[in-house]
Amino acid sequence: MYDPNGRVDPGETADFTATLINIGGADLTNLATTIETSSPFITINDNSGYFGDLSVGMIKENTSDPYTVTASSSTPHGAEIEFALIATANGGFVDTIDFTLTVGQGVPSDTGYYYSYYSSGPHLNSPVFNWIAIDSTQTANPGVSLDLFDNQISVLSLPFTFKYYGVNYNQISVSSNGWIGMGSQSGVDWTNSSIPNPDGPPAMIAALWDDLDPGNIGAPSDIYYYYDAANHRFIIEYFQVEHWPTGNMETFEVILYDPTYYPSPTGDGDIIVQYLVQQHQLDNTLGIENYGENLGIEYFYNDVYHINAAEVTDEFAILYTTWPPDQNPGIEENTPASVPVQNSLVIAPSITKYGVSISYVVSNSASGVDVTIYDASGRLVKIYERLFDNQAKITWNCRDQVGNKVSNGVYFVTLESNFYKDAQKVIVVE
């Protein structure tokens, strides 16, 4: 990318190049390429890149003939723009390569299921720090003390079903060591590790995972929980828990939002972790991980932040959500999911074996709505056309237009009407 910060930002024009390797069985002569995209945020000023001859095993970059694009100033930071590169050469050679260009500041993600956003960030989904005290030093929100001491765990029943990495949970396990595990767990695990990692608790929210001790006798320091029924959220506060070996006190909280009232593209729940004070030690883990411990976001691990993360400071918030950077539902208090949202496309789940639910709402369907599914190469797989309902739900069973089961890979569900266009990614796995 020919730009001082190595990326194209909203409102910016930048040159970039491609690096191609010939892994085929024949040399390529007079190799030329063009790029294209359907994104409304991108204007392609120069779509061609010339490579010349590319022998078998040779690697070449079009540095002398780069592509030039302009990102609209309205492009959301972190938006992942899908492009296609069409390569041609003498002898009738044609190939298409799909790639993604991130506009602006990216966000930590686990390859596109959950994303994490931070307070004061440039993204549409950047949370606002709003501390909710539930400890015994106040009375507005009467939290319940768990009376935990060093290396203890408490299993709590949730007041609502919380979906996390595609699995529904009605219980959580709160560890004295700064992490929360979905479901009923018994291991306390005070030794932090990287994410994802088979070491440590599964289905974990690592708010500040390390050797912590909330059991300071005669002090209000402890772990508290509180159900804020009016705002449909469950709060766990770690209040002045001692951090071994320095003895410094950490105060932070985890907030789980009821997915029924705060819908997401996958149906998974939103999570906000708030830090009243910055972490006092740097040998901690911050992030989330699925039950299989093979997918997760490592926001911070042992003094190293994710490349797209911001430093945790006093009064800092991190939002973990399945809303991608170019979509913003907003988290508004007391807004049930039953209130119609104009012009929306929601796919659930985004990673599937058997099928997905495609739900849409459009403000006007008089001219018909088309829902089309493409594979990663742009080939049409399935189409539902001329739909005249303003609001509908479609189930795609991972089969193509003639009924054949599709292969594993990435697919794109697009919706188009006269008044609204959108696209969502689906990953089909075994």
Going residue by residue through the chain, which has 430 residues, state the pLDDT in tens, using 9 for 90 and above. 555 677 899 999 999 999 999 988 899 999 999 999 988 899 999 999 999 999 999 999 999 999 999 999 989 899 989 899 999 999 999 999 989 899 999 999 998 899 999 999 999 899 999 999 999 999 999 999 999 999 999 999 999 999 999 999 999 999 999 999 999 999 889 999 999 999 999 999 999 999 999 987 777 899 999 999 999 999 999 999 999 999 999 999 999 999 998 888 888 999 999 999 999 999 999 999 999 999 999 999 999 999 999 999 999 999 999 999 887 665 443 333 333 345 788 887 778 877 888 888 887 777 788 899 988 777 889 998 878 777 888 888 888 988 888 988 888 899 888 777 888 888 887 6
Cβ atoms of 29 and 45 closer than 8 Å: no
pLDDT for position 334:
38
Cβ atoms of 207 and 256 closer than 8 Å: no
Which tens digit of pLDDT belongs to each residue from 213-226? 998 777 789 999 99
Cβ atoms of 8 and 103 closer than 8 Å: yes
Which tens digit of pLDDT belongs to each residue from 82-109? 899 999 999 999 999 989 899 999 999 9
Q: Residue 154 and residue 146: Cα distance in Å, rounded?
A: 7
The helix/strand/coil state of 362 is coil
Report CA torsion sign: 344, 345, 348, 350. Answer: negative
Characterize the bridge pairing of strands 351-352 and 421-428. parallel
Q: Residue 411 and residue 337: Cα distance in Å, rounded?
A: 27
Pick the CATH number of 344-428 from 3.40.50.300, 2.60.40.10, 2.60.40.1930, 3.40.50.720: 2.60.40.1930
Long-range contacts made by residues 233-236, C-beta under 8 angstroms, separation at least 24? Answer: 233/257, 233/258, 234/158, 234/159, 234/160, 234/162, 234/258, 235/132, 235/134, 235/141, 235/143, 236/172, 236/174, 236/180
Domain ranges of the chain: 13-103, 115-321, 344-428
The helix/strand/coil state of 377 is coil
Q: Specify burial of residue 427 (Cβ count, 10 A radius: 0-12, 13-18, 19+).
A: middle
Segments in 120-247 forming alpha helices (H): none
> Between the CA of residue 113 and those of 269, 296, 318, 373, 426, what are the distances in Å?
12, 9, 16, 19, 10
Which tens digit of pLDDT belongs to each residue from 163-203? 999 999 999 999 999 999 999 999 889 999 999 999 999 99
- Encode 300-327: b = buried (16+ Cβ within 10 Å), e = exposed: bbeeeebebbbebeeebbbbbbbbbbbb
DSSP letter assigned to residue 198: S
Structure tokens that stand for 188 in this block: 């306390």
303: Cβ contacts below 8 Å, ≥ 6 apart: 282, 283
Cβ atoms of 226 and 199 closer than 8 Å: no
Q: Do domains 13-103 and 344-428 have the same CATH topology?
A: yes
The helix/strand/coil state of 301 is strand
Structure tokens that stand for 27 in this block: 């040399």
Cβ atoms of 261 and 335 closer than 8 Å: yes
Nearest to 377 by CA among 49, 70, 52, 83: 83
Structure tokens that stand for 70 in this block: 């302009």
Q: Residue 387 and residue 180: Cα distance in Å, rounded?
A: 44
Q: Across-strand partners of 179?
A: 206
Overall size of the chain counted in residues: 430
Q: Residue 392 and residue 91: Cα distance in Å, rounded?
A: 48
Nearest to 284 by CA among 210, 212, 213: 210
Cβ atoms of 140 and 207 closer than 8 Å: no
> Between the CA of residue 184 and those of 55, 147, 190, what are the distances in Å?
58, 18, 17
Residue 401 CB: number of other CB atoms within 10 A? Answer: 10
**CATH topology (fold) of 13-103:** Immunoglobulin-like (2.60.40)
- Encode 1-15: b = buried (16+ Cβ within 10 Å), e = exposed: eeeeeebbbbebebb
